[in-house]
Each structure stands twice: as structure tokens, then as C-alpha cells.
Structure 1
Amino acid sequence: MSGGGGTGGFAWRPLIAVSFGWFMVIVDATIVNVALPRLGREFGASVSGLQWVVDGYTVVFAGLLLSAGWLGDRFGGRRVFQAGLALFVLASAACGFATGLDALVGARVVQGVGAALLVPSSLALLQGSYGDRRSRARAIGVWAMVGGFASGAGPLLGGLLTAGLGWRWIFFVNVPVGAAGMLLTARWVRVGATGRTGGRFDVPGQVSGAVALLSLTAAMVRAGRAGWGDPLVVGGFALFAAATAVFAVTETRVRAPMLPPSLFRSRELTVATAVGGLMNLGFYGQLFVLTLYFQQVRGYTPLQTGLALLPQTGVIAFGSWLGGRVTARGGPRLPMVAGMAAGAAGFLALTIATRSIPYVALVVPMMATGFGISFTMPAATAAVVEGAPPGRTGIAAGTLNAARQVGGAVGIALLGAFVAGGASHFTAGLRTAMLVAAAAYALGALLALLVPRGVRGGAEERDMAGARR
């Protein structure tokens, strides 16, 4: 089924409507980074405290993605998408009016809830709106390009808004964008009004999964200021291990698991999910570190920092577009391998960053890292959507995005811990952080070699079902 408004046989309207909410969610993962030093001065926050402005959003986002994917499959993707969009807009306004760090982090947590509701449903709506594989691949490619552009535009937009209107406007800007997305979705998206019947909400799975994620990230954030041997850090890791074990046992025993183990019978889906986590761990962790590097070590303003990051963020839209084209023609294997390898090389080259090194020496390494994540993203997304069983697109999309958001949260906490020791140790910590990011991407490239060439699995079943109808 497709929406209207097509040209040349392709229906653009559903894609445009869904992209508004998707753009907003991805922008908010990066737009706040350049404002962190100013937030720290205004609220008197430490680096570890500032990490929660970012992690408060990404942790909750990741922790609820699986449940949100299930909700979209159960109650209808359009309903859940619209509910998430409305909640995100309200939380964005609350962020803009925050009078202290605690209030800001709390509003960011609510933003994460809204983002979790709309992201899996956005992919499910695209899958339902584009019935044949070629149109679906094209839509996913554009969807990924929008996300790439949003990720690239985040730091620059954040710098412009922070310098021109103040940091609060990095949140207020979401209100008109989200309102437009809600209106267009109501008018242009015709699928997802109802969901499938049956299935209970997996409360034990959601609770144990959320506890595992929260404890892991909290332990890593605290390790940055208290050391890895701190009792609360050790206790956090122990709680993570226990909650993970409970989650694994629960999902194999309950009648309607939040994360069905059978979902991972698809090799494409399994590998793409792992690659998604490693991809975000390296990229968003290094973006957090580089933002602090440009402002704290090189003395750049927020606007100058946004401009300095342009070689990395500016290439993302092009890489996403190219990755979508290559994936549509030959499958996800090649772009996943090539993208992760390019990113690994870029991170290794960024270990040369010091206070005195000429900025121009960092341009090509930053371009390589930006191209790496953007070239990989459409391929990983297509592998998950096409590998998902019929009727399970929402939970499959939730799984990928949960892995990505977990990776991003862990990356910010882990790589941020390396530079939390003060300006005198920042360069050494940056070097270690970039080596960790490079290792994550190298591992992702190796895993991507396990993906078979071409596309198979759930996509074939959907296309055959469509042909029978």
C-alpha cells in the first residue's frame, strides 16, 4: 500500500510526513553537544553531570525502544507515532524553560520516552506505505539520508542557535517542527491505524532490560569521576550483570516476550543489530569528546565548534544517500563493511589531535568518520527491515534502534570517562578514546563480513504475500 503524492510512480507524501519526527529525534542526539560547556557554566555542572543531559535522553530512548516497537505492532504504528511526536514536542518546551540541571535532565528523559515511541513506528509506517522491495529500499535510503542530514546539522544548528538566541532555543525549535510532523502524518499517512491482536505486554522483560541499561550507563558515568574501583561503580556493573541474566531467562520463558529469541534466526538482522550498536558507540562517543576538545582545549566558541565539526557532519547526508543507493542495488554487506572500515581509519587518524596541531590536519580524518557511519546506516537499517518476519517490523526496528542508542549512551559514558580528568590529561584521554572507537568500528567491519550477499528472509515472504493478494 502507498500514500498519495507520488511522482514517477513513487509516493513521497508518507515519507515526508514520517521524516519530520525522525529528523527531530536525530537532531536532538547531537544539537545539545555544542551547548554543553555553556550549560556547565550556567548551572555549575561537571563533565559527568553534563553527560546526563545527553545520556538522560539516550538511555531512556534506548531502554523503551523494544516496548515501543511492540506497542506499534500491537496498537497501530500511526497511533503510537503520533503519541510519541506529541510527547516529544511537550518535553522539548519543558527543556527550553528548565531553570536548573535537574529539571533539564528530567525533561530530556521525557523527550527520550517520546523518541522511543516514534522511531520504531516510523520504520513500520514506511514498510506499510511502500509495498514492493524496490520502493521500500528507496524510502529507507531517503529516511537514512534525512537522519544523516539531521545528525550533521545538529552541531552547526546548535552552535548557531546557542550563539544567536541562547541555548534554550535548541529545544524550542522542536515545537513548530513537531507540530508540522503531526499535521502531515494525520493527512498523508494512511497505514498503521490498527495493529495486530493478541500478545501481552512483557513487564518483566522491560523492567529487567531497563535496569540493565541504566545501571551500566550510570556506572560508566560515575567511573569518569570516581574511578573504576569505586564501590558504586562495581555495584553498578554487578547490577547490570544480574539484570541482564534475568532479562535473558525471562525472554526465553514468557509466552509473549518483548524481544522474541526467534527474531535472531535471521543472520542479516542479528549482524546489523550488533553493527548498529558498535557504530553509535564509536561515533557519538567521539563526537562528545571532540566537542569538548574544540571548546576546552582549543578555546572555540559553540558556533566555531559547530563549524569545526562540519567536515565530519557535513558528509553524513551524502554518505547516507550513497549508502542507500549501493544497498538497493547490491544488498547491505558491502556498504556495511566499507563504511565501518572507513570509520575505523578515521578514528585512528584522529589520535594525532593536540592543542597545537593545525586544524586542517583533522579535516580528512573527520570526513572519514562521518562517511563511515552514514554509509553504513542505510545498509544496517535495510538488513533489519528486510530480515524481519511479517508483522514484526516494529519490534525489529526497535531492536536495531535500541542497540544503536545503547551503543551511543555507552560510547558517551565510556569515551567521556577518558577525558574527565581535567585539561592537563585531556589530550591523552582523547587519544585513548579514539583508539576505542577505532576498535569498535574494526570489529563491526569484521562482523559485517558474515552478512550474506543480497537480500532474503522476511522481505521475500512479504513480497510473495503481496503477489498472492
Structure 2
Amino acid sequence: MSSHQVSDAITDQEGQGSNQVHRWRAFAVLAVSFFMTVADLAIVNVALPTIGRKLHMPESSLQWVVTGYALTFGGFLLLGGRAADLLGRRRMLMAGLFVFTAASLGCGLATADSFLIPMRCVQGLGAAIVLPAALSIVMNMFPEGAERNKALGVWGAIGASGATVGVLAGGLLTRYAGWQYIFFLNVPIGAAALLLAPRIVPDSRLTTARRRYDPFGAVTVTGGLSLLVYAISTAPQAGWGTARTVALLATSVALLAAFVVIETRVEAPLIPLRIFRLKTLAGANAVSLLLGGSFFAFIFIGTLYMQQVLGYSALKAGLAWLATSLTSVAFAGLSQALVTRGLARLVMAAGMAMIGGGILWATQVTVHGTFWASLAGPWAIVGVGTAFAFIPVSIAALAGVAEHEAGLASGLLNTTQQLGGAIGVAVASTIAATHATTLLHQGVAPAAALTSGFQWAFWACGAIGLAAVPVTYLLIRRHELAIAVASASAKPQPASADV
């Protein structure tokens, strides 16, 4: 792609025509920014019991430390992508890094859940600005073909390992420094990224688009999904048939319906419905929703099982997740190699089958389980599945997308994944809590009741993961994926060595 071709679609500034070495330096800054946002969804998991004790948080509030971040992250990603395209991608990247870093500092300084949870929501907002801007810059830096697929392969590997590495880091920091440092860690990293971005990251934006946004769309979709998660989370205590729960669910449905109406009426909708004419993009986002709903809920429930039933410390629980993160990293190169050989759809389906199957294997956990007997196998299988699923999903969701809609497509992909995670955590938590409470009322011992509740939650998470397999074959178009990876197929050697 020449500088003349790029200037037809975007405004190049400060280094868009830089050489390959400079592109990969910029990619490193963008990848670190991406990794922070992904890891922060999971990094609090192993610290939740400690946070709950230190801040005297009720059990019902702990879930919101995770879902509050995920909801604002997913709910405002599309608006973040639109703003990045129109206002300048590097500018919005830096704005998002500032918000994310400042909110991280606020989280670490929190002394009550009434401050921590809002700060986690602001963190999610910062992540929603950072992520689409960063991925759009990656899309503009690398020409379509082998080099872009290599970059997206590394990007997908970071996404696949970010959650589990976050859990491990959370365990180490909670054990040796204190729970506050899972948030304080972001401050120097975010500050360094802010200093480096204007020096080595190229800027770009759309030059012909009128500056039209869709704030009402962002507010209605985020509000509707937040109420949905809140209603699901509180239903076990309030009762599913009570007026309160019904009213919350009805309001959620009304807000989501209003979002759909808004998207058909506004001049610049967050989600132009025409984009779903790209069948592979639509299928990739459906898989992404199910991927988030199964995998992130699995990490949440698995961590609670290890700490509340097996008595693992935050550090030991974090170390246990190495079985997932290391296998994910180890198999990312194979996944990328298979994708570049034209097997992306098969790799995606296999990945989701392994995620779903591994989680179903975890339903066999017991009250007196050990790591090697109960956890190592399912934890590792899910790790392989993430390597196989994340990479082709990342490529498929951007296949055939015009350059000027890169922010929209990247935002849509990550929106479905994060919102899937928030809803999945809420559903799994509700199933576990409802079943465990029922057993406790029947006189079952607490450890046995908790274990059975977690087993039921694993069944739900596994079913969500397996549901993505038929979706992959029904919606993903092989020829559209083939176009996206054609150049890499001709040169299959890149990417695997660098993942």
C-alpha cells in the first residue's frame, strides 16, 4: 500500500510512511495498551475475596467489580470506535489511556465499594476508548495480506492470553503487594504508553465524514444491558416473579428496543445494520458473544471454586490458571499457521468445541479435588481452545471491512465479546448462587452446596461455548475467510515464530 493510496482514505501524519521496524515499534505500544484493557477484566478475580474482606463488601456487590468494568467497556466501544475514526485515532488512544490510568489510580485508592465500583466503570469507559483506536491504527499501519494477518495473529494471541495472565498477575500482586497494586500497576504502564504514543504511533482519521455521533445509542444499549445483568444478578434474592424483577427486565427490554429503533433512525448509527450483510462479520460477532459468555464466566466461576471450596490463596489460584495461559500461548503459533493455510473456519469451530468441552469436563470437580486430578485437564483444554478461537475470530470479524469502517468493526467485535462476558458472569453466578442456596436450605453441607452450584454453572458455561460450533458453520462463509487470509496462505511461515 503506497502513501498515495492511503491518502485517498485517511489523513497521514507523523510516520504513516515509516518503515517496517518503526511499524512494529508502534505496534508494541498499541499491544501493551490492548493487553492492559483485556487483562483488567480478569485481574480482579482472584483478589475478590480479599477486596470483599478489606472493604466490607457484601457478596452481591463483588460481581459488580467485574461486570461494572465489562458493561461500560462493551457498551461504549462502538462510540469509542466512531470517535477514533472522526477525531483522530492517536488522539483518542491517548485520551483513553489517560482516563484508564486515572481510573486505575482511583480504584487502588478506594476505601469502599461505593467508590471502587464507579471507578471500575470509568476504567471500562477508558478501555472502550483505547481498544478500537489501537486496533484501527494497527489496521491502517499494515497492508491487507500476510503482514496484517501476522499482526492480527499476535493481537489475537494477546487477547487469548490476557485474561488468564491477568488472573496470575492478580494473584501475585494480591499475595506480595496488596490488592490495590492490581490497579496501581496500570499507572506507570499507562503513563509510559502516553509518553511514547505521540512519538512513535502514527495518527489517522477519516477526512470526508461529517462529525456525527450516536450518544443516545451508546447510553440506551449500555443502560439496557446493565439493567439486564442487574435483574439477573438480584433475581435469586428478590424472586424471579416479583414485581421488582419483572419491572427491571421490562425496562431493560424497552431500552434495548429503543436502541434498535435509534440505530434505524439516526444519521450516523453506532451499528449500521447494513454491516451485517457481511455474513462472516456477523458470524464472527455471534461467535465472539458466545466466546465471551463462556470463557470469562468460566474464569470467574473457576476462581471462586478454587478459593471458596478448595481453599486456594489468591496466589495459588493465579498459578493454577497457568495451565490455561501457557497452553494458550503454546498453541497460538499452530493456530495462526492453520489459519494462514485456509483452515480458519475449522480452527474456530475446533477452538469453541475445546472451550465448551473443557468447561463441561470441569463439571466433575469435587469438594476434595486436587489440581492434577480435577483441574489440570479441563484448564489446559480450555487454554488450547482460546488459542484456536480468538485468532480466527479476530481475523474473520475484520474480513472484507472497508478501511473507513475499521473502528466500527473492531469496536463491534470487542463489544460482543465484553458484553458476552458480562452477561455470562451474571448468568453463571446466578445459577451457582440459586442452586447452592437451595441445597443449603435442604441441610446440605456448605462446601458440598457450593461445589454443586459451581458444577451447575460450569454446565451452563460449557453449553454456551458449544453453541458456537454450529453458529460457526451456519454463518461463517469459507470464501470470505479465504480472501482475508489469501496472502498469508501463499507464505505460511510468518507469524508463528513471533507469537
Same fold (TM over 0.5): yes
* Paired position in structure 2 for 1:307: 319
Q: How far apart in 2 are the matches of 1:458 and 1:257?
A: 28
Correspondence 1:435 to 2:435: no
Q: Which amino acid aligns with 1:440?
A: I
Matched, 1:452 2:467: no
Work out whether 1:233 is the aligned partner of 2:245: yes
CA deviation after TM superposition for structure 1 residue 78, in Å: 1.2
Cα separation, 2, equivalents of 1:427 and 1:175: 37
Aligned 1:40-439 pairs, distance under 5 A: 40-192=52-204, 196-330=208-342, 332-361=344-373, 362-420=375-433, 421=436, 423-424=446-447, 425-439=449-463
**Inter-CA distance 165–120: structure 2 relative to 1 (3 Å threshold):** same
Inter-partner Cα distance in structure 2 for 1:236 and 1:338: 38
Structure 1, unmatched stretches of 5+, are: 461-469
Is 1:6 the counterpart of 2:6? The answer is no
Separation in structure 1 between the aligned mates of residue 28 and residue 343 of structure 2, nearest angstrom: 24
Quick check: 1:200–1:256 contact (8 Å CA) kept in 2? yes
- Please state how far the C-alpha of 1:196 moved relative to its aligned partner: 4.7
Q: 8 Å contact 1:224–1:416 — kept in the other structure?
A: no
Q: Distance in 2 between matches of 1:388 and 1:455?
A: 11
Q: Structure 1 residues 336, 360: CA separation in 2 closer, same or farther (over 3 Å shift)? A: same
Q: How many angstroms apart in 2 are the aligned matches of 1:297 and 1:334?
A: 37
- The CA deviation string for residues 66-109 of structure 1, in whole angstroms up to 9 with x for no partner, is 11111111112111111101110111011111111111111111
Amino acid at match of 1:371: V
- Paired AA for residue 65 in structure 1: L
User: Counterparts of 2:205 and 2:278 in 1: how far apart (Å)?
Assistant: 28
Distance 2:332 2:251 in 1: 38
Given that residues 397 and 410 in structure 2 are in contact (C-alpha distance below 8 angstroms), is that contact kept between their aligned partners in structure 1?
yes
1:63 Cα offset (Å): 0.9
* Structure 2 counterpart of 1:176, one-letter code: P
Cα distance in 2 between the residues matched to 1:53 and 1:36 = 8
- TM-score for both structures, normalised by structure 1: 0.93
Q: Could you tell me how far 1:456 is from its partner in structure 2? A: 5.7
How far apart are residue 146 of structure 1 and its match?
Answer: 2.1
CA distance in 1, matches of 2:161, 2:57: 30
| Deviation sequence 1:367-423 (CA, Å, 0-9, x none) | 111221232111111111123233101011111111111100011111111223464
1:33 counterpart = 2:45:
yes
How far the C-alpha of 1:267 sits from its partner, in A, is 0.7
Distance 1:364 1:396, change over 3 A: same
Q: For the residues of structure 2 that align with 1:90 and 1:3, how far apart are their CA atoms?
A: 33
> Percent identical across equivalent pairs?
37
Q: Which amino acid aligns with 1:108?
A: R
- Structure 2: how far apart are the matches of 1:77 and 1:274? 26
In structure 2, the CA distance between the partners of 1:391 and 1:453, relative to structure 1 (3 Å rule), is: same
Whether contact under 8 Å (1:79, 1:192) holds in the other structure is no
The 8 Å contact of residues 288 and 412 in structure 1, kept in 2 or not, is answered as yes
- The CA distance in 2 between the partners of 1:207 and 1:68, in whole Å, is 13
Q: Any conservation in 1 of the 2:159–2:390 contact (CA below 8 Å)?
A: no
Displacement, 1:164?
0.4
Aligned partner of residue 209 in structure 2, secondary structure: coil
User: Is the partner of 1:205 in helix, strand or coil?
Assistant: helix
Distance 2:85 2:37 in 1: 20
Report the CA distance shift for 1:455/1:133 in structure 2 as closer, same or farther (over 3 A): farther
1:416 alignment partner AA: S
**Count of aligned pairs:** 461
CA distance in 2, matches of 1:188, 1:75: 19
Question: Is the alpha carbon distance of 1:397 and 1:355 closer, same or farther for their aligned partners in structure 2, counting shifts above 3 Å?
Answer: same
Query: Cα RMSD (Å) of the superposition?
Result: 2.3
Question: Structure 2 CA distance, aligned partners of 1:14 and 1:103?
Answer: 35
CA contact (8 A) 1:152 1:317 kept: no
SS in 2 for 1:146: helix
Partner SS for 2:341 = helix
Stretch deviating more after TM superposition (442-451 or 306-315): 306-315
Conservation of the 8 A alpha-carbon contact between 2:342 and 2:482: no
Instruction: Between 96-105 and 189-198, report the one with greater CA deviation.
Output: 189-198
Distance 1:458 1:299 in 2: 50
Q: Where in structure 2 are there 5+ consecutive unaligned residues? A: 2-15, 438-445, 486-499
In structure 2, C-alpha distance between the alignment counterparts of 1:348 and 1:459, rounded to whole Å: 33
Contact 1:387/1:457 (8 A) holds in 2: no
CA spacing shift, 1:341–1:459, aligned 2, 3 Å:
closer
Amino acid at match of 2:130: L
Aligned to 1:467: none
SS of residue in 2 equivalent to 1:68: helix
Q: Is the 8 A contact 2:396 2:484 kept in 1?
A: no
In 1, distance between residues paired with 2:344 and 2:402? 18
**Residues 331 and 455, structure 1, Cα contact 8 Å, conserved in 2:** no
Larger CA deviation: 113-122 vs 225-234: 225-234
Is the 1:388–1:459 Cα contact (8 Å) retained in structure 2? no
Question: Which residue identity is paired with 1:17?
Answer: V
Q: Which residue identity is paired with 1:239? A: T
Q: Is the 8 A contact 1:17 1:184 kept in 2?
A: yes
Aligned-pair CA distance for 1:60: 0.7
The 1-side partners of 2:46 and 2:54 are apart by 14
Amino acid at match of 2:72: V
Deviations 1:102-126 (A, max 9, x none): 1111111110110000111111111
Distance of 1:257 and 1:358 partners within structure 2:
51
